[in-house]
Structure 1
Amino acid sequence: MSKFIKKNKIGLALITLGMLSLFLGIHRGEHLTVAKKSNIICLECIGIG
């Protein structure tokens, strides 16, 4: 296991940073904003909104 960690330090750091960013965005409620905006855009595309 230690060889794996030594060999892939940058990759593990990037995965950790990505997961931290994901959880921070969920905590701040950004997923709701994205869903709301995507629904508006979709409704405009099909001509309902």
Structure 2
Amino acid sequence: MINFIKKNKIGLSLLVIGMLSVSMGIHRQEHKTVAKKSNIICLECIGIG
């Protein structure tokens, strides 16, 4: 296990940074904003909105 961590320090640190970024986005409820914007774009593409 120690060898795995030593060999993959950069990958593991990027994984941790990514997980922190996702959790901060969920905490700030940014997923609702993204869903709202994607719905608007889809409706504009279809021609309804």
Q: TM-score, normalised by structure 2?
A: 0.98
Structure 2 residues not aligned, in runs of 5+: none
Separation in structure 1 between the aligned mates of residue 19 and residue 40 of structure 2, nearest angstrom = 28
Taking structure 1 as the reference length, the TM-score comes to 0.98
Aligned counterparts, 1:1-49, within 5 A: 1-49=1-49
Cα deviation, 1:3-47, whole Å, max 9, x if unaligned, reads 000000010000000000000000000000000000000000001
C-alpha RMSD of matched pairs (Å): 0.3
**Runs of 5+ in structure 1 lacking a partner?**
none
For residue 35 of structure 1, what is the amino acid of its counterpart? A
Tell me the number of residue pairs that the alignment of Structure 1 and Structure 2 aligns: 49
Provide the C-alpha distance between the structure 1 equivalents of 2:26 and 2:11, rounded to a whole number of angstroms.
23
